[in-house]
Structure 1
Amino acid sequence: MDTVFLVLLLIAAVIIANIFSWKFDKIPVAFIQIAAGLVLSLLPIYNHFELEPEIFLLVIISVLMFNDGQHTSLSRLTHQFGTTFSLSVELAIISILVVGFITHLIIPSMPLALAFALGAIITPTDAVAVSSITSNMLVPTNVMSTLENESLFNDASGIVALNLAIAAAITGQFSLLNSIGNFVYVFFGGIILGGILGAFIVGIRLKLINMHVDTPSVMVPFTILTPFVVYLIAEAAGVSGILAVVVTGLIHGIQQNRLRLTSSRLQIVMNSTWQVISSILNGIVFVLLGLSLPSVIINLHKHDTSSVFILLGVGVVLYVIMTALRYFWTNWDFARIRAWDKKEKHANSIVIAYSGVHGTITLAMAFSLPLTLNGQPFPYRNDIIFVAAIVILISLLVPTIALPFLLPHQVNKFTEEELTAAKGQMVDEAISSIQTRHSNSISASQVINILDGQRTVAGNIDKTKLNIIFDNCFELEQQTINDMLQNNEISDLNADLYMRVSRRTIIQYQQSNWQRFVLFLKFNLSKVSFSKKARKQRKIFHQMARQKPDNRQEMLKRNKEMWQQMAITEKKPYEKITSYLNQSLINDGKNNREISIVRRAYDERHRRLTSSFNSRDDFEADQNELLIEAFQQENTYIQSKIASKEFSSELGSALYEQISTDQLVYLQSLNEE
């Protein structure tokens, strides 16, 4: 139970850090997450907190690598295979060897095998961290795709090399020839086994889909379990579980692309689930870095007061060396990146060098080091974790400072205000079309309500305006019911009961308890009722509810009939209110949010009153048809505005994307109800 509580606190810290990153968007989220971890380290409950190293490999690294794999373009990967292999395997091996030998020279007491382990840990790069740093910059497309492909496989190279280095540390023997042979077997064995397992698992998944067993409750857990199963099988076979997971992820990505149009609901749920899982796991790793740093530094001080400064210097030196290696490797065409001339090649090489950001995988690998070695505490474990942390921090800090001077800033072709205004015009056009063509349709109001939700309205709700709109609607209802009563369209009892429901609606949607209390007193003390006859009928009705079972059955029957009459009674006031709100929405662009709240209140009440005897299937079919018509009208409107040069192509693309997303989500949600 204690472990569960500690993990929940880690997740809470990630959530809080993400909230702060939204507010301070200029600071990389990793720094904020590390700071959250430092705050957690002050809690006594975390004084001796440690997760087992195997948990990092199985629960964190394998899941993150699978997710990266399934979101990687296989066609782009095969097109850039030579460059990807050169950076993620050849450069990775050279970097591990160079870092290992230099570390051993600086710290001769550190065994060479552990120095190579350090090199394997700090070699992998993190394209996700690069994307967060360069989110407001224009990174050349070929450079960014190279970084993404590299990070996918140099993670696996680093993990394979780390396992070999730890094995050498355990046995005390290191053979370069044997290590290369083992590397080839583990590396390519993981790729082959991952391909076999991936094809088999995808085959099962396609079989389930063909059997129509493709609900998110089945397919999402099935996919989440996949990296765990593949990793465990590959490790049992003695090959790289991480590479097997990556290849399985690639095969899943291919299958998802094939099903993108035929299984849209599953795609939405699957993508959202993996985004949340990836975000949480990445955040947990950086929170753990902040959580562990104080204890690591304390342990280093106990060992040697000068070791912290020595290791700090080692981290800086190793970062500089790896950055230089990345620059020369691409500038000397060991890894070819398309460029028009030498100047562009030089610029791309600098960006590649500075973009060698080390993040989640590096940190997770450092934490995955065994706690013991041959029955003794693992030597230099704190030293390696500290150096890895320094390299991560420097690799995050340097590009954050340097890349803005090297890369142009992204310039949006339109402002948020222009997008909001254009979206409002688009929605108004669709609403006007629905009102004109389907003014008498029951579904039209629901569709207009859905369309109104497409708006992007800034600012808070104006409570005064909201109350005024509700009051106007109530007065309109009361006037309509009075007219119907005078024309003998409804009975006194129905009029009385309807206005009681109307008053309850007004009270329910007030913004404060005090306002609800005032309205409650107002409506009850005024004893509003249409006649003494209505009060007498209502009294008889309540007396019947307290009588013996036979009369109760009769009462239930009358109760059902009464609510059916209520639904009939409500039709005319609802039409009046809908017309008033629709007209207000078109004429007054300042109260859109308040009008939407009032509309939802009356639409929900109308749905409850009519759902008991209206045909739901016919209603949904009519609503779907109107929605499709409305979305087509929006597309036509945008097309005409782009043709007349009133909207730029970029603004039009943003609006088209909004329509596509809304159409998918709204129609799907209607079908699920």
Structure 2
Amino acid sequence: MDTVFLVLLLIAAVIGANAVYARFKLVPVAFLQIAAGLVLSLTPLYRNFELEPEIFLLVIISVLMFNDGQNTNIRKLSHQLGTTMSLAVVLAIVTILIVGTVTHFLIPAFSLALSLALGAIITPTDAVAVSSITTKVSVPKAVMSTLENESLFNDASGIVAFNLAIAAITTGQFSVWHGITNFLYVFVGGILVGLLLGYIIVAMRINLINAQVDTPSVIVPYTLLTPFVVYLIAESLGVSGILAVVATGLIHGVQQERLRLTTSRLQIVMSTTWSIVASILNGIVFVLLGVSLPSVISHLQQRDTGSVAILIGLGVLLYALMTVIRFLWLQFDFAKLRAWDHHEKAKNSWLIALSGVHGTITLAMAFSLPLTLNHQAFMYRNDLIFVAAVVILTSLLVPTLVLPLILPAKVDQVTETDLAKAKVEMVTSAIHMIQARYGESPSASKVIMILEGQRNLDGRPDRAQLNQLFDQAYNIEETTVEQMLANGEVTLPVAQKYLRVASQTRLQNQQSFWQRFRLFIKFVIIGKFFWSKQSRARRRAHQKARQKGLDRKQLKARNREFWSQMRAIEQKPYQAIVTWLNDSYTVDNHQAIGIVRRAYDQRHQRLSGTRDLQDAQNELLIQAFQLEYNFVQAQTAQQKYDRALSNALYEQISTDQLVYLQSVNVE
């Protein structure tokens, strides 16, 4: 139970950090996740927290690498294969050797094998971490593509070299020839095993699709289990499980066209599931860094009060050394990019060098260091974890400060304001067309309520604006009922009762969260008193009714007649409010109007007691989506919308259409 609780707290910390980042994007999300981990480290549960090293490789790294592989553009990778292999394999090995030698020279207490293990840990780069710190700057596509392809394979290079170094530390022996042959066997063998297993797994999945066994409850778990199965099989054969997982992911990426034979609903579920899983796992690693740092620093200080400062200096020095090596490697054309302009060569070389951010894989390998060596505690384990943490933090901090100085700010092709305005125009046009063709029929009202969801963007509506709209809606109801009373369409008692119901609708929706919360507390604490009081009142009413000679059936008949009158009255005020709301839509008030419209639609459905026919509603909704497509096409043809804005609107329409129709199929 404690383990489950620990994992849940880690996930909660990731969610909290991501939520803060969603609102305040001034600080990279990785720093927020580390801060969340530092907060968790204050709790007693995490003071002696230790995670088995094997869990990192199996549960975290294998899943992340598989996801990276299946999302890789294989065509771009093949075009840049020479550059990718130069950076991810040759440069990685050279960097590991140089970093290991320098570390052993500076700190002789670290054996050469241990220093090489440190080099293997801090060499891999992380394209995801780069993306998190470049949200506000425009990174050239060629640079970003190179970084993504490099991180896909240099992770595996670092892990293979890391395993060889740990084996040398454990056995105390290392042969250069044996190391090279073993590296090739583990590296190439991992790729071959991954390719073979990838084809088998994809073929089995396609057979499931052809047999119409393509429900999310089957395919999603099947895909999520893939990296675990591939990793365990490859490791049992003595080859790199990580490279096997990458190769299997690449096969999934190549076969995407065939795998898209599945339903749209399954594609949405798969994409969303993998996005969430990758985000949570990446976040957990940085949270664990925050959790572990206080304990690591404490152990280092107990051994030597000056060791922390020395290791900080070593981490910063090694980061600077790796950055210079990367720059020189590119500057002297050991790795080339076809898209490079000769005059931009130095700048792009520095961009790739500075963007060599170290993240999840580096930290995961550090945590995967064995707890014991030769049945004794691994003395320098905390040292290596701390140096890796310093390198990660430095590699995140430096580009965060430097890249905005040398790169232009990112300019969105479509601003949120333009998109919001266009969405309001598009949906409003569709709503008016539906109203003109079908009036205020139950199906049309339901479809209009669904369409309004497209107009509502993220954020909160202005409370004062919302209250004003509800006041105006009530005034419209009151005016309409007064006109009906003057025309003799309704009696005074029924009109007064209806206006009390209308007033209640306004007051309920104008209340703030805290007002509703106080009402809830009042309901819970003194509800029994009111219930008993109302029960006594109902008993007295029934007694009076019996005294007048009215039985229970007559009371029910009178009640049905009353609500029938209410439904008849409600039609005109409801139609007047809907017409007014549709005519009042603007970019500034669309959220508040959407809330008001939903409130009155829900009340209308309760009073009318109508049940829309699903088939008619679906057919009408498909027409509404087509009307939106037609509107965007017309605006584009008239050059009122540019291509980027039109594509954003088309994407919005397609997503809404798929999600709604798939949800109908589920129902």
Shorter-chain TM range is: 0.7 to 0.9
Once the two structures are superposed, residues 626-654 of structure 1 have per-residue CA deviations (whole angstroms, 9 ceiling, x without a partner) of: 333332233234324xx33x333333333
- Structure 2 matches for 1:51-70, cutoff 5 A? 51-70=51-70
Preserved CA contact (<8 Å) 1:127 1:147: yes
- Structure 2 matches for 1:414-433, cutoff 5 A? 415-433=415-433
Measured after TM superposition, the shift of residue 89 of structure 1 is: 0.9
Query: 1:651 pairs with 645, 651, 654, which one?
Result: 645
One-letter identity of the residue aligned with 2:168: A
Preserved CA contact (<8 Å) 2:355 2:399: yes
- Residue 582 of structure 2 aligns with which residue? 585
In 2: Cα distance, 1:307 partner to 1:198 partner: 46
- Residue 529 of structure 1 aligns with which residue? none
Q: Does 1:467 align with 2:465?
A: no
Once the two structures are superposed, residues 148-186 of structure 1 have per-residue CA deviations (whole angstroms, 9 ceiling, x without a partner) of: 011011111111111111111111110111111111111
- Structure 2 matches for 1:493-642, cutoff 5 A? 509=509, 511=511, 512-513=515-516, 543=552, 570=567, 573-574=570-571, 576-587=573-584, 589=586, 591-607=589-605, 616-640=613-637
Query: 2:663 pairs with 663, 666, 669, which one?
Result: 669
| Structure 2 CA distance for partners of 1:293 and 1:562, relative to 1, 3 Å | same
Q: Does 1:369 align with 2:372?
A: no
One-letter identity of the residue aligned with 1:221: P
Measured after TM superposition, the shift of residue 103 of structure 1 is: 1.1
Preserved CA contact (<8 Å) 1:339 1:345: no
- Residue 551 of structure 1 aligns with which residue? none
| Structure 2 CA distance for partners of 1:422 and 1:384, relative to 1, 3 Å | same
Once the two structures are superposed, residues 565-615 of structure 1 have per-residue CA deviations (whole angstroms, 9 ceiling, x without a partner) of: 978974773465145323332235364333322322343355567777x57
Once the two structures are superposed, residues 611-630 of structure 1 have per-residue CA deviations (whole angstroms, 9 ceiling, x without a partner) of: 77x57343333333333333
Preserved CA contact (<8 Å) 1:194 1:245: yes
One-letter identity of the residue aligned with 1:636: Q
Once the two structures are superposed, residues 368-399 of structure 1 have per-residue CA deviations (whole angstroms, 9 ceiling, x without a partner) of: 11101110011311111111111111111111
One-letter identity of the residue aligned with 1:52: E
* Deviation larger for 107-116 or 380-389: 107-116
For structure 1, which runs of at least 5 residues remain unmatched after alignment?
526-531, 547-554
Preserved CA contact (<8 Å) 2:18 2:29: yes
Q: Does 1:228 align with 2:231?
A: no
Measured after TM superposition, the shift of residue 14 of structure 1 is: 1.6
Measured after TM superposition, the shift of residue 65 of structure 1 is: 0.9
* Deviation larger for 416-425 or 241-250: 416-425
Q: Per the alignment, in what secondary structure is the counterpart of residue 454 of structure 2?
A: coil
Preserved CA contact (<8 Å) 2:14 2:287: yes
One-letter identity of the residue aligned with 1:543: R
In 2: Cα distance, 1:480 partner to 1:256 partner: 63
- Structure 2 matches for 1:234-633, cutoff 5 A? 234-260=234-260, 263-413=263-413, 415-439=415-439, 441-456=441-456, 459-462=461-464, 463-469=466-472, 471-472=474-475, 475=478, 486=489, 509=509, 511=511, 512-513=515-516, 543=552, 570=567, 573-574=570-571, 576-587=573-584, 589=586, 591-607=589-605, 616-633=613-630
Once the two structures are superposed, residues 494-531 of structure 1 have per-residue CA deviations (whole angstroms, 9 ceiling, x without a partner) of: x999999878766764524489999x99xx99xxxxxx
Once the two structures are superposed, residues 217-237 of structure 1 have per-residue CA deviations (whole angstroms, 9 ceiling, x without a partner) of: 222222212111111111111
- Residue 133 of structure 2 aligns with which residue? 133
Q: Per the alignment, in what secondary structure is the counterpart of residue 333 of structure 1?
A: coil
Measured after TM superposition, the shift of residue 672 of structure 1 is: 3.1
| Structure 2 CA distance for partners of 1:136 and 1:167, relative to 1, 3 Å | same
Once the two structures are superposed, residues 229-279 of structure 1 have per-residue CA deviations (whole angstroms, 9 ceiling, x without a partner) of: 111111111111111111222222233444447522112111111221111
Preserved CA contact (<8 Å) 1:11 1:284: yes
| Structure 2 CA distance for partners of 1:46 and 1:615, relative to 1, 3 Å | closer
| Structure 2 CA distance for partners of 1:347 and 1:67, relative to 1, 3 Å | same
In 2: Cα distance, 1:7 partner to 1:504 partner: 46
| Structure 2 CA distance for partners of 1:480 and 1:185, relative to 1, 3 Å | farther
In 2: Cα distance, 1:542 partner to 1:249 partner: 74
Preserved CA contact (<8 Å) 2:99 2:119: yes
In 2: Cα distance, 1:185 partner to 1:611 partner: 72
For structure 2, which runs of at least 5 residues remain unmatched after alignment?
535-540
Measured after TM superposition, the shift of residue 350 of structure 1 is: 0.9
Preserved CA contact (<8 Å) 1:256 1:267: no
* Deviation larger for 277-286 or 302-311: 302-311
Q: Does 1:34 align with 2:34?
A: yes
Preserved CA contact (<8 Å) 2:185 2:239: yes
| Structure 2 CA distance for partners of 1:623 and 1:213, relative to 1, 3 Å | farther
In 2: Cα distance, 1:486 partner to 1:290 partner: 71
Q: Per the alignment, in what secondary structure is the counterpart of residue 580 of structure 2?
A: helix
Measured after TM superposition, the shift of residue 297 of structure 1 is: 1.5
In 2: Cα distance, 1:620 partner to 1:397 partner: 54
| Structure 2 CA distance for partners of 1:426 and 1:101, relative to 1, 3 Å | same
Once the two structures are superposed, residues 331-357 of structure 1 have per-residue CA deviations (whole angstroms, 9 ceiling, x without a partner) of: 222111124543212221111110110
Preserved CA contact (<8 Å) 2:478 2:499: no
Calculate the TM-score normalised by the size of structure 2.
Answer: 0.87
Measured after TM superposition, the shift of residue 211 of structure 1 is: 2.5
Q: Per the alignment, in what secondary structure is the counterpart of residue 305 of structure 2?
A: coil
* Deviation larger for 616-625 or 52-61: 616-625
| Structure 2 CA distance for partners of 1:485 and 1:176, relative to 1, 3 Å | farther
In 2: Cα distance, 1:76 partner to 1:210 partner: 30
| Structure 2 CA distance for partners of 1:358 and 1:615, relative to 1, 3 Å | closer
| Structure 2 CA distance for partners of 1:142 and 1:567, relative to 1, 3 Å | farther
In 2: Cα distance, 1:541 partner to 1:137 partner: 78
Preserved CA contact (<8 Å) 1:337 1:345: no
Measured after TM superposition, the shift of residue 307 of structure 1 is: 2.0
* Deviation larger for 37-46 or 288-297: 37-46
| Structure 2 CA distance for partners of 1:620 and 1:578, relative to 1, 3 Å | same
- Residue 537 of structure 2 aligns with which residue? none
Q: Does 1:80 align with 2:83?
A: no
Q: Per the alignment, in what secondary structure is the counterpart of residue 453 of structure 1?
A: helix
- Residue 188 of structure 1 aligns with which residue? 188
One-letter identity of the residue aligned with 1:460: D
Preserved CA contact (<8 Å) 2:429 2:628: no
Identity %: 56
- Residue 116 of structure 1 aligns with which residue? 116
In 2: Cα distance, 1:172 partner to 1:545 partner: 97
| Structure 2 CA distance for partners of 1:268 and 1:574, relative to 1, 3 Å | farther
Preserved CA contact (<8 Å) 1:427 1:634: no
In 1: Cα distance, 2:101 partner to 2:335 partner: 24
In 2: Cα distance, 1:261 partner to 1:173 partner: 53
CA RMSD of aligned residues (A): 3.6
Q: Per the alignment, in what secondary structure is the counterpart of residue 638 of structure 1?
A: helix
| Structure 2 CA distance for partners of 1:620 and 1:448, relative to 1, 3 Å | closer
Measured after TM superposition, the shift of residue 422 of structure 1 is: 2.5
Calculate the TM-score normalised by the size of structure 1.
Answer: 0.86
- Residue 538 of structure 2 aligns with which residue? none
| Structure 2 CA distance for partners of 1:509 and 1:55, relative to 1, 3 Å | same
